[in-house]
């Protein structure tokens, strides 16, 4: 028996024991409900019967019973999802983050009201979109949980809780969701496994080790599912890993291919590195890719070079801070585009570009649109064999770039704001960039791109040469030296921006005077843009055409995750996880320490919220 299979067996055993003891909240709640429905057993009796039930059944799914009539997920359903479902990270393979539902719209959104909520029971950053397939919702939370719920009622079907190793430390304790294929779900874990769960019961079907968490290799992304392949990318750019994208057979977890984001000896692009720098050069790939179903090409974003100061790894450093075009069957790199060379600012470009058909300069362009962490709004053209630079402009103020070379699309760096060894260098925007991983959205109806941006933040650090120790932070600076400063006289920080990618014009902008904006954006056909992301814990809806704030709801915690929309029995719902943590919290700590009047207390703890119109 393989190591991973052995682990799977051990874990199932643990879950069984966990259910047996009958003391966890979920079991108690379920028992309590059951009791309320009219039985009159004594406490002792129902504890006993609960014990027997849990002993006989092999999984926690026993509590509510497995999901009946589950709709298997097929290639056809992922390529053309029903309007009422949200089965991919951004709902569709083109990465738009757009729902065609319009029952909730700009004229009635003021009547949006909570329908049900559900506590996840854990703290830290809840970054996953609630994934919905024909009335069943799957929610991934920090600490390796997946919760299956009735999306209409909020009743729990089952909960999977991974037993993470005691010696694991999580710099980014989060998950961005579960992928779906046929009757299974796929979770990428912070201890660097891919786990397949039975969608109906939550039972582990297979469990494959990807790399070694003890070396700082971990995963937080939602797997991309393409035609029976579970495709993931590794985190760990801050630990000196060599990034990769890898595919597993959805049936049995067998690794099908692995493509490193940093070319090895003899591979094209290897000469953009010197010596052995490539072996630990970073290029993590910790966000879900998008997919062009016409050309069968995956577009996958690649992170920063490691360690941070470019002086420690001279060269362009392919394919860091790039987008890769990959063949889903082989993992072969078809082509690429590097957004910026010799990264020195921790500017991951891991959010995959959106695939948008544009009319620009009098011609039709099959574009890739990417508002970058490097503060540049990128418009590229994708062809079957190449990615061409079309246009780029700063969407927040930056002192790092002096311009962009018109032919190659390479940004021209100002050396005064590029970190080096032995001297403190300041740069704007901060290392969290113009926009970090929280996703932008594109509305097919308005033709606008909605960007969760941050303005008036600058950063800086003193680069230093440090020897790599596997599993330890390797930033090329002292972590305590990393700064976040606000510009003097700044009257706001977060910006929700609406851009026309065809013209490069900003159509509207909403400013947040006392908060960063650190949450994914979703657009709907009801002319609405939904976003959380602020330290006042609000969830908001804006008019997609004008930017007018139409609705807001204070939630339990801050929101970092992605809003989704779905439909059941003719009712449209909006769902979001509220649960502050990770980088939103880090920015918060820096902001609250240095600025008076900024909210310092954003309580942690995850809750799933579901909204619909008041009946």
Are 519 and 435 in contact by the 8 Å Cβ rule? The answer is: no
Q: How far apart are CA 3 and CA 253, in angstroms?
A: 13
Catalytic status, residue 155: no
Q: Which residues of 454-492 are buried (b: 16+ CB within 10 A; e: fewer)?
A: bbbbbbbbbbeebeeeebeebbbbeeeebebbbeeeeeb
Q: How far is the CB of 228 from another protein (least distance, A)?
A: 30
Q: How far apart are CA 416 and CA 303, in angstroms?
A: 23
| 346, 348, 374, 436: the active-site residue | 346
Dihedrals phi, psi of 261, to nearest 5 degrees: -80, -10
Which residues contribute to the site for another protein (CB under 8 A)?
122-124, 143-144, 163-171, 173, 190-191, 214, 469, 471-473, 478-480, 581-582, 585-586, 589, 593, 604
Which residues touch 467 (CB under 8 Å, ≥6 apart)?
none
Tokens linked to 59: 């999984």
Q: How far is the CB of 582 from another protein (least distance, A)?
A: 8
Q: How far is the CB of 101 from another protein (least distance, A)?
A: 36
Tokens linked to 377: 């709004």
Are 28 and 51 in contact by the 8 Å Cβ rule? The answer is: no
Question: What is the residue whose two structure tokens read 């009958």?
Answer: 22
Q: How far apart are CA 368 and CA 94, in angstroms?
A: 9
Q: How far apart are CA 273 and CA 279, in angstroms?
A: 10
Q: How far apart are CA 382 and CA 384, in angstroms?
A: 7
Q: How far is the CB of 272 from another protein (least distance, A)?
A: 30
Q: How far is the CB of 456 from another protein (least distance, A)?
A: 21
Are 99 and 90 in contact by the 8 Å Cβ rule? The answer is: no
When the beta carbons of 447 and 471 are compared against another protein, the nearer one is 471
Q: How far is the CB of 166 from another protein (least distance, A)?
A: 6
Tokens linked to 511: 């400013």
Are 549 and 470 in contact by the 8 Å Cβ rule? The answer is: no
When the beta carbons of 379 and 582 are compared against another protein, the nearer one is 582
Are 532 and 560 in contact by the 8 Å Cβ rule? The answer is: yes
Q: How far apart are CA 192 and CA 182, in angstroms?
A: 23
When the beta carbons of 361 and 589 are compared against another protein, the nearer one is 589
Q: How far apart are CA 524 and CA 567, in angstroms?
A: 13
Other CB atoms within a 10 A radius of the CB of residue 614 amount to 10
Q: How far is the CB of 4 from another protein (least distance, A)?
A: 18
Tokens linked to 102: 């319009």
Largest CA distance in the chain: 79
Q: How far is the CB of 80 from another protein (least distance, A)?
A: 38
Q: How far apart are CA 610 and CA 147, in angstroms?
A: 15
When the beta carbons of 402 and 469 are compared against another protein, the nearer one is 469
Catalytic residue set = 346
């Amino acid at each position: 028996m393989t190591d991973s299979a052995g682990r799977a067996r051990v874990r199932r055993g643990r879950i069984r024991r966990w259910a047996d003891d009958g003391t966890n909240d979920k079991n108690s709640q379920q028992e309590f409900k059951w009791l309320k429905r009219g039985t009159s057993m004594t406490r002792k009796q129902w504890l006993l019967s609960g014990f027997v039930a849990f002993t006989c059944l092999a999984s926690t799914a026993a509590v509510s019973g497995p999901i009946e009539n589950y709709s298997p997920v097929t290639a056809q359903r992922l390529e053309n999802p029903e309007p009422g479902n949200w089965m991919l990270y951004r709902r569709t393979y083109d990465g738009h983050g757009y729902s065609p539902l319009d029952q909730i719209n700009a004229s009635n959104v003021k009547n949006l009201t909570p329908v049900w909520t559900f506590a996840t029971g854990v703290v830290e950053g809840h970054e996953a979109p609630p994934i919905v397939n024909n009335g069943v919702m799957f929610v991934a939370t920090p600490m390796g949980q997946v919760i299956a719920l009735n999306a209409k009622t909020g009743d729990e079907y089952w909960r999977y809780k991974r037993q993470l190793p005691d010696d694991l430390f999580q710099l980014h304790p989060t998950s961005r969701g579960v992928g779906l294929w046929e009757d299974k779900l796929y979770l990428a874990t912070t201890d660097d496994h891919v786990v397949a769960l039975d969608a109906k019961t939550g039972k582990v079907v297979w469990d494959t080790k990807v790399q070694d968490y003890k070396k700082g290799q971990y995963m937080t992304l939602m797997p991309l599912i393409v035609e029976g392949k579970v495709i993931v990318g590794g985190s760990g750019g801050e630990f000196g890993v060599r990034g990769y994208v890898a595919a597993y057979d959805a049936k049995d977890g067998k690794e099908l291919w692995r493509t490193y984001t940093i070319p090895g000896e003899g591979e094209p692009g290897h000469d953009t590195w010197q010596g052995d720098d490539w072996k630990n050069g970073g290029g993590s790939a910790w966000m879900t890719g998008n997919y062009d179903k016409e050309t069968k090409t995956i577009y996958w974003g690649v992170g920063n070079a490691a360690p941070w100061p470019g002086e420690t790894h001279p060269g362009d450093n392919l394919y860091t801070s790039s987008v890769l075009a990959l063949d889903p069957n082989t993992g072969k790199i078809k082509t690429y585009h590097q957004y910026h060379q010799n990264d020195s600012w921790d500017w991951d470009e891991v959010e995959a570009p959106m695939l948008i058909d544009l009319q620009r300069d009098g011609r039709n362009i099959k574009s890739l649109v990417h508002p970058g962490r490097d503060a540049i709004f990128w418009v590229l053209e994708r062809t079957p064999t190449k990615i061409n630079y079309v246009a780029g402009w700063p969407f927040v103020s930056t002192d790092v770039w002096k311009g962009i070379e018109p032919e190659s699309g390479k940004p021209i760096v100002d050396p005064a704001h590029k970190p080096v060894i032995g001297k403190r260098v300041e740069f704007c925007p901060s290392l969290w960039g113009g926009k970090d991983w929280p996703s932008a959205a594109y509305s097919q109806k308005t033709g606008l791109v909605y960007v969760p941006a941050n303005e008036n933040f600058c950063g800086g650090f003193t680069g230093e040469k440090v020897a790599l120790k596997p599993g330890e932070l390797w930033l090329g600076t002292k972590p305590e030296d990393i700064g976040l400063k606000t510009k003097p006289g700044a009257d706001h920080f977060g910006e929700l921006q609406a851009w026309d990618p065809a013209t490069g014009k900003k159509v509207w902008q909403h400013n947040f005077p006392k908060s960063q904006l650190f949450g994914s954006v979703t657009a709907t056909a009801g002319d609405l843009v939904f976003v959380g992301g602020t330290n006042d814990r609000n969830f908001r809806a804006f008019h997609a055409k004008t930017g007018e704030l139409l609705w807001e709801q204070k939630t339990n915690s801050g929101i970092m995750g992605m809003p989704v929309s779905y439909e059941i029995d003719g009712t449209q719902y909006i769902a979001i996880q509220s649960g502050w943590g990770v980088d939103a919290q880090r920015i918060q700590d820096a902001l609250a320490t240095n600025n008076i009047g900024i909210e310092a207390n954003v309580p942690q703890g995850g809750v799933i919220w579901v909204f619909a119109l008041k009946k």
